[in-house]
Amino acid sequence: MRALNNQIIGLVRNETEKMIRKKRFYVVLLVLLVLVPVFSYAQMKQAESKREKYGTDWRREVQQAITDNQNSLGSDRVPEEWKKYRQVYIQQMKYYLEHDVNPAAPGGVTFTREFLDNAATLFIPLLIMGLGSDIVSAERTTGTIKMLLTRPVRRWKILLSKLITLLMFVSLTVLAVFVICYLISGMFFGYKGFQLPVFTGFRLDGASVDLSSVHAVPQWTYLFMQAGLIWYVGVVVAILALMVSVLVRSTAASIIIMMSSLIAGNILTNMASAWTSAKYLFMVNLGLTDYLAGTPVPIEGMSLGFSLLVLGIWAACSLVVSFLVFTKQDILN
């Protein structure tokens, strides 16, 4: 048993060193270091133009947002789906006003929270896909797979070590997104805001909001929960990427497959509410943080438990497929 553990750890270490040598993780960090300042700057410009209109008076701003959304509800040109989102938004904003809590007090922590809500379904999965898509196929492309598989190590251990390495980097990526986002946006908006209250627990039933279980949590707790949910999404995406990488021989092809299915998910969540069986697709269920924020689900009948289950089943199936195929397949060139 001990020997086995040591063997796996050795393999994981080997894979980790490969991952670092490939500089893929540095690319992730670099992307963040470039993009987060861009987003922060854009957000700051937007905040400035708002400040010109409303000063520091967020209550007026929130009330105007409520009124504007109420006006769009009366318009026949607005699709019913959007109206539902707006009705929910109106009720949540009224709740914030009633309790005199600013829903978006400016600050690095608030920026991080909002950025991650938006990044959870596409941006972070894409980063993770970038790490994982070539983890097996790259060995094939370069031919090193033969060297790897002719060593006296069982094949499943090799794949397991790759999986563990990938999951390690999923955690590091999620953490890095949070830390970099906070550190950089803090330069623009200040580093305060960990204790500000955020409401969570809005339960949606169609367009009406059940407020009975709404409760305030400090923003840092909210970030903590967000990170956990995004991590789960990241793990599932990583496992799927691993499977694609096992199944598809070319790195380019596996990246294209993962990327297009992630983007398809984003498009589907915006338009597939009529096609209810789409809710069994993994890419429609990536918005786990929406359940925290109380945003309407893309398709009727989805809940946190449902999404976790769907994602879990997809991940479990891909693991089975990955290991079966990887241990059985012939290596041809």
Write out the residues near another protein by the rule CB under 8 A: 12-13, 16-17, 20, 57, 59-60, 62-64, 66-67, 70-71, 74-75, 93-94, 97-102, 167-169, 171-172, 174-175, 197, 199-201, 212-217, 221, 224-229, 231-232, 291-292, 304-305, 308
Q: How far apart are CA 168 and CA 176, in angstroms?
A: 12
Angle between helices 219-247 and 155-189 (to 10 degrees): 140
Q: Half-sphere exposure (CA, 13 Å, Cβ side) for 34?
A: 5
Q: Whose CA is closest to 241, among 129, 112, 76, 98?
A: 129
Residue 222: CB minimum distance to another protein, A: 9
Closest distance to another protein from the beta carbon of 263 (Å): 25
Q: Which is closer to another protein, CB of 145 or CB of 177?
A: 177
Sign of CA dihedral 145, 149, 153, 156: positive
How remote is the C-alpha of 93 from its chain's centroid? 25
CA angle 84, 87, 88 (to 5 degrees): 90
Partners of residue 198 on adjacent β-strands: 217
Closer residue to another protein in complex, CB, 206/228: 228
Residues 6+ apart with CB under 8 A from 108: 182, 183, 185, 186, 187, 188, 189, 190, 191, 192, 193
Q: Which amino acid is at 265?
A: G
CB 33, min distance to another protein, A: 18
Q: 3-class DSSP state for residue 291?
A: helix
Residue 241: CB minimum distance to another protein, A: 17
Taking the least distance from each CB to another protein, the nearer of 26 and 275 is: 26
Measured from the CB atom, is 303 or 327 closer to another protein? 303
Q: Least CB distance from residue 276 to another protein, whole Å?
A: 22
Q: Which is nearer to another protein, 46 or 67 (CB)?
A: 67
Q: Which residue number, 171 or 270, has a Cβ lying nearer to another protein?
A: 171
What is the nearest approach in angstroms of another protein to the Cβ of residue 236?
Answer: 12
Place of tokens 């978006």: 104
Q: Which is nearer to another protein, 85 or 220 (CB)?
A: 220
Least distance to another protein, CB of residue 6, Å: 14
Look at the alpha carbons of 67, 70, 75, 78 in this order and tell me if their dihedral is positive or negative: positive
Residues in the chain: 333
CB of 327 to another protein, least distance (A): 26
235 or 248: CB nearest another protein: 235
